[in-house]
Structure 1
């Protein structure tokens, strides 16, 4: 992989990783512990924040695709980058729509138990964090 492409891919990877860690594993659980934040308020905030995060993730994913494609990476980098993209696609196309439908119902006043979709989202988010960490390390150690 050429130096410029590897540098861009590394920067994009660690920026993406940092954003996911900060939002998904710090902001998301903590907002419900703040005084006065009800479930509907927390869901409303979460929807706005995750919509923004997912848009930024899509841009970062595109930048990563370009940097990796231009750089002629080793197979390990290509596969690890593809895994991150696949995990994001699963979240955006399969899991988020179910979470949005559920949060619409909760915001409309229904009392619902925690959904399995939430657990799937956390599982894919955890896998994405581990994958981005591995990708970043592969890029640094290339």
Structure 2
């Protein structure tokens, strides 16, 4: 395995991991506890933040895929890269659209209690899988 490409892929992987942890598991739940932040305001902020996060994640995924490919990867590195990228694709294509429809309804003035959705829990579950894959991938890449 090309150690320079592997080290660079590991670094990008851990930055990606840090962003997901900071935004999904720290910023997202805490913003609703801030004084004066209503559900519509929190949803509006969340949409902007997650749109930016997902854009950066897509760029990081492409960079990691390219670096892993040029590193002469192990089977574990390929599998973990595929898991992280696949989870991101599922989140963007299958989970974000229903979440956006829900937040659109709340932002249009509908009662948030009427728009509870288990899709949000699915998104969180996918975040946990992605975090585990990124931790494992970073460790595999930096162990080379």
The alignment's TM-score, normalised by the length of structure 1, stands at: 0.98
How far, CA to CA, are the matches of 2:122 and 2:86 in structure 1?
14
Distance in 1, Cα, partners of 2:128 & 2:107: 27
Quote the RMSD (CA, aligned, Å).
0.8
Give the secondary structure class of the aligned counterpart of 1:101: helix
**Paired residue secondary structure (2:90):** helix
1:133 deviates by: 0.4
The answer for the alignment partner of 1:18 in structure 2 is 18
Please show how residues 58-137 of structure 1 align to structure 2 within 5 Å. 58-111=58-111, 112-137=114-139
Look up the SS of the partner of 2:24 in the other structure.
helix
What's the offset of the Cα at 1:8? 1.0
Q: 5+ unaligned residues in a row in structure 2: which ranges?
A: none
Quick one: distance in 2 between partners of 1:74 and 1:138? 9
Offset of residue 77 of structure 1: 0.5
List gaps (5 residues or longer) in structure 1.
none
- Which of structure 1's runs of 4+ aligned residues deviate more than 6 A? none
**1:55 matches 2:55:** yes
Post-superposition shift, 1:114?
A: 2.4
2:102, 2:115 within 8 Å by CA — same for their partners in 1? no
Q: CA deviation at 1:113?
A: 4.1
CA deviations over 1:110-139 (Å, ceiling 9, x no partner): 112421110010000011001100111111
TM score, norm. by length of structure 2:
0.96
